[in-house]
Amino acid sequence: MFAGPEYGLCLVGQVLTDSIVNFPSLKNTLADLWHPLREVSIMEIEDKYILFRFYSKIDLKRVMDGMPWFFNRHLIVFHRLIRGEDPSIDSLWIIVF
């Protein structure tokens, strides 16, 4: 679980696809697209989930305001972590209309 003030600058995401995602390619592509002012750490966590840890509120806001994001034409869904949430067991729910 994350502690300290940085927990609020994290997103958990998942690429909506049944196929295997090339994580190094995803990491490089998103970092290039987002051009963070400071830094973004992108880490794989279990079950196809990805942890995005930002080091600037401005970078996080730009990414959230720029949604939706896609990788290889597959939607990436995000959930913003709040205090007490464990990114390794978080579930993402989406509603499709």
Residues 6 or more apart whose CB falls under 8 angstroms from that of 28 comprise none
Q: Class for domain 5-80, per CATH?
A: alpha beta
Amino acid letter for position 18: D
Q: For residue 92, what pLDDT is reported?
A: 54
Q: For residue 48, what pLDDT is reported?
A: 84
**Measured distance CA(88)–CA(76) in Å, rounded:** 17
Comparing CA positions, the residue from 24, 10, 86, 85 lying closest to residue 55 is 10
The answer to whether the pTM exceeds 0.85 is: no
Digitized pLDDT (tens) for each residue of the chain, 97 residues in all: 444 455 679 999 999 999 999 999 999 999 999 999 999 999 998 778 999 999 999 999 999 999 999 999 999 999 888 766 665 554 555 555 4
Amino acid letter for position 10: C
Question: How do residues 56-71 score in pLDDT, each as one tens digit?
Answer: 999 999 999 999 999 9
